Amino acid sequence: MCKYRDAQPWSGREDPEDGPQALRMHHLAGRANADIAILGFCCDAGVRRNQGQRGAASGPAAIRHALANLAASPDLDGFHDAGDILVTGEDPAPGQQMLAKHLARLLLDHKRVLVLGGGHETAFGTWSGLRLARPHDRIGIINIDAHLDLRSVGRAGPSSGTPFWQIRQADPDNFRYAVLGVAGEGNTAALFQRAREWDVQIVPDDQLQTEAQAGFAAIDQICAASDAIYLTIDLDALPGALAPGVSAPAARGIPLHVAEGLIDRVLASGKLIAADIVELCPPNDTTGLTARCAAYIARRLMNGWVADHSLR
């Protein structure tokens, strides 16, 4: 079961004594004709099926809350909050279908869409929406993640571990996929074998400990071969000390500044149309640090989209 919920009003800190430039991100929310739209996908079903820790359904609200009080991006004059899709049943598939339809409609009126998940089952809905909006485009997928998420769909159905297998089944002739920050210890030999068979580009987490450059070749190759890029960011790619509020915290992970460098490289292509941020588990995020990391990433994406002169 799933349903749509309208966006809730944004609120946050006010600093009127500092004048008209003392703006925060909550002041920019609610502009209907903005180039950028955000959409929440409140879903725990995929994580439950993947035997993970529940809580991802409250991720979009936590990211919005953390984003609201960040300083406004200087060049961003507003963004549209398109509300939330709520998945209340055991099966994520109806929610993925609704997400796809909403995202495709948003791309009729907005140039870029950022989805706030949800578990990584969000990815199949985001990609499906971009495919609906761009039926003839070559879509490249770049995933910043500790996991390949290429598990095949079993008897239980799709989960947070199967989205890129699902995408490959839906469009096998146009599957271009790179995963940056992969933990060798967190992926079975079967998944690595499947990745090799499908020409998935993999950059391990131990190559991304100090700088992002090790991931640039994979990013550039995917971008050069694609008309549109879908970027998905799983917060469990970050170190567990920085991002404890996920279903599977990383023992190693990649630093935030490295993830930001990878994001900037994707933005520089001018081809990034849809992105999502997934796997925040607020019940595990007792200090709110993981939500704050997610908010930093969301702000960086929106600011980067505005700075992208190919926005059209």
Feature table: binding site for Mn(2+): 120, 145, 147, 149, 234, 236
> Quick one: which H or E segment has residue 142?
strand 139-144
Cβ atoms of 92 and 159 closer than 8 Å: yes
- CB half-sphere exposure, 122, CA atoms < 13 A: 34
177: β partners:
141
What is the dihedral angle through the alpha carbons of 252, 257, 262, 266, rounded to the nearest 10 degrees?
150
Query: Can you tell me the distance from the alpha carbon of 277 to that of 275, in angstroms, rounded to the nearest whole number?
Result: 7
Residue 241 is classified by DSSP as: T
Token pair belonging to 233: 């960011």
Token pair belonging to 13: 């800190």
Residue 47 is classified by DSSP as: H
302: β partners:
none
Q: Among 91, 86, 6, 54, which residue's Cα sits nearest to residue 280? A: 54
Binding residues: 120, 145, 147, 149, 234, 236
At 139, which amino acid appears?
I
Q: Which residues contact 224 (CB under 8 A, 6 or more apart)?
A: none
Radius of gyration of the chain (CA): 18
| SS3 state at 41 | strand
37: β partners:
80, 113
Q: Among 50, 83, 57, 51, which residue's Cα sits nearest to residue 1? A: 57
